Amino acid sequence: MKNKPITLISYNRHKFTEYVHLFKPLPLKLDPLDPSFKGLLLEDGDTFTANAIQKVSQIPLDNQFVFAEDSGLVIPALNGAPGIYSRRYSGIDDAHANNRKVLKNMQSVTDRSAYFVAVIALKDLAGELHLFEGRCDGFIHTEEVGTTGHGYDPIFIPVGYAKTFAELGLEEKSRISHRHKAAKKLIEYLKVHV
């Protein structure tokens, strides 16, 4: 498996950084997606799984492993929102605006439970798809707290903690996150099949 290329189908630099950290133990070369593919990425599925499969199926990269992930925050009290619309919940691609909208919509809500979901779709050398899912349960804070991380990290408190993802730091967040749980399953698969 030494230095075999694997490409993450994403232009999200925060996501890429997290995967570089998660892939440290593997002798794989994690590559970012070439900018020339940018106009090809569509995400119009109605589930995290559909979006992950759609992303990984659109990029014509052969003779290597490619994977894509779709993830988001699910809040049962808001009928599952932001869900698959997590990135643009406020109407724009702005994390602070998204967080403010969630906090506003949660003002009179007593059930503050929430969870992050990540679904990874891997396309292997034969073009076959494999799916891996991770989930992290927690609660929505009443304000934005913390300076690390991205997205909804400043308002999400994972179960068993008194701090938001944005307060925990990358090392601790990576250990318990939905992305880590899905990536761990992906890594176990790659250890056996690459």
Q: How do the pLDDT tens digits run along the chain, 194 residues long?
A: 456 778 888 877 877 887 887 787 777 778 888 777 766 677 788 999 999 999 888 877 777 889 999 999 999 999 999 999 998 999 988 999 999 999 999 999 999 999 999 999 999 888 899 999 999 999 999 999 999 878 999 999 999 999 999 999 888 888 899 988 999 999 889 888 77
**Residues with Cβ < 8 Å from 73, sequence gap 6 or more?**
82, 83, 86, 102, 114, 115, 116, 151, 152, 156
SS3 162: coil
- Read off the tokens for 136: 């992290």
pLDDT in tens, 122-138: 998 888 999 999 999 99
| Strands across the sheet containing 113-123 | 28-31, 4-8, 65-74, 113-123, 129-140, 156-158
Kindly report the pTM of this predicted structure: 0.89
CA angle (79, 9, 20) in 5-degree steps: 95
The answer to whether the beta carbons of residues 166 and 93 sit under 8 Å apart is: no
**Amino acid code (one letter) for 40:** L
List the catalytic residue out of 62, 70, 111, 153.
70
153 is catalytic: no
**Domains within the chain, CATH numbers bracketed:** 4-193 (3.90.950.10)
**CA 135 and chain centroid, separation:** 10
The C-alpha atoms of residue 114 and residue 133 are separated, in whole angstroms, by 16
